[in-house]
Chain A
Amino acid sequence: QQQVKQSPQSLIVQKGGISIINCAYENTAFDYFPWYQQFPGKGPALLIAIRPDVSEKKEGRFTISFNKSAKQFSLHIMDSQPGDSATYFCAASKSGGSYIPTFGRGTSLIVHP
């Protein structure tokens, strides 16, 4: 499976600030890019996802920006809250085959009150 590179590994943000997590991929066949949120002791949960036919998708305070030519996508968390403190994983997968997302290494986000 192709690697998905995620950065930063950890991120500390003040309450109300913007959290930005970046991912890059190599396989141009990928056409589905989900982000997962994982709290300690829990399984990952789908947060938001995007396809390459759009450059941005917004759901509440969470926005995915997608740059197809650069093969990069990022998660922006606006007005970050302490409850957003979790590990975030980006992933990529491709249609036409089995749904087996390839995950980035994760970003541990801490939002200080």
Chain B
Amino acid sequence: NAGVMQNPRHLVRRRGQEARLRCSPMKGHSHVYWYRQLPEEGLKFMVYLQKENIIDESGMPKERFSAEFPKEGPSILRIQQVVRGDSAAYFCASSFSRGTDTEAFFGQGTRLTVV
């Protein structure tokens, strides 16, 4: 039973390029959460998705960032026209059901570096 799989583990992009980060949740999990972690900072919530629906995107920047979780396939966090400030570790977590009694399992993260 594989855990939450994120790829790539490391991603280097030049300013202005697009970054696509993928997250495959644990088997049977239909809830996905994306977090951003900056050096010396905690985990900042970005977006919460269920299959084909964005439930909460209150932590997502209004521009350049988008997320999806299609019926088939992994969840994608997309960053258009990346800037140096986008450099961070991006973590995806998944859970089986909604509610606070359900543990969220984290992936190993994608470390994005914008040069």
Chain A positions within 8 Å of B, measured between CB atoms, are 1, 6, 9, 31-32, 34, 36, 41-46, 89, 93-95, 98-106
Contact = CB atoms under 8 A, between A and B. Distances in A.
B87 to A, nearest CB: 16
B42 A98 contact: no
A36 B93 CA distance: 13
B31 interface: yes
B91 to A, nearest CB: 5
Contacts of B6: 43
Nearest to B102: A99
Contacts of B55: 98
A104 B107 contact: no
A9 B101 CA distance: 28
Which size bracket describes the interface of B in this complex? 20 to 34
A93 B100 contact: yes
Contacts of B56: 98, 100
Given A43-B91, A104-B42, A106-B41, 7 more contacts: A36-B106, A41-B108, A43-B4, A44-B91, A46-B103, A89-B43, A98-B55
B45 A99 contact: no
A31 B100 contact: yes
Smallest CB-CB A-B distances: 8 pairs: A43-B106, A32-B100, A105-B42, A103-B43, A103-B42, A44-B106, A43-B108, A95-B100
Contacts of B1: none
Given A93-B100, A99-B100, A1 B45 contact: yes
A45 B108 CA distance: 10
A97 B21 CA distance: 26
A42 B106 CA distance: 9
A73 to B, nearest CB: 15
Interface string B37-54: 000111111001000000
Nearest to A89: B42
Contact of B41 (A1, A31, A105): A105
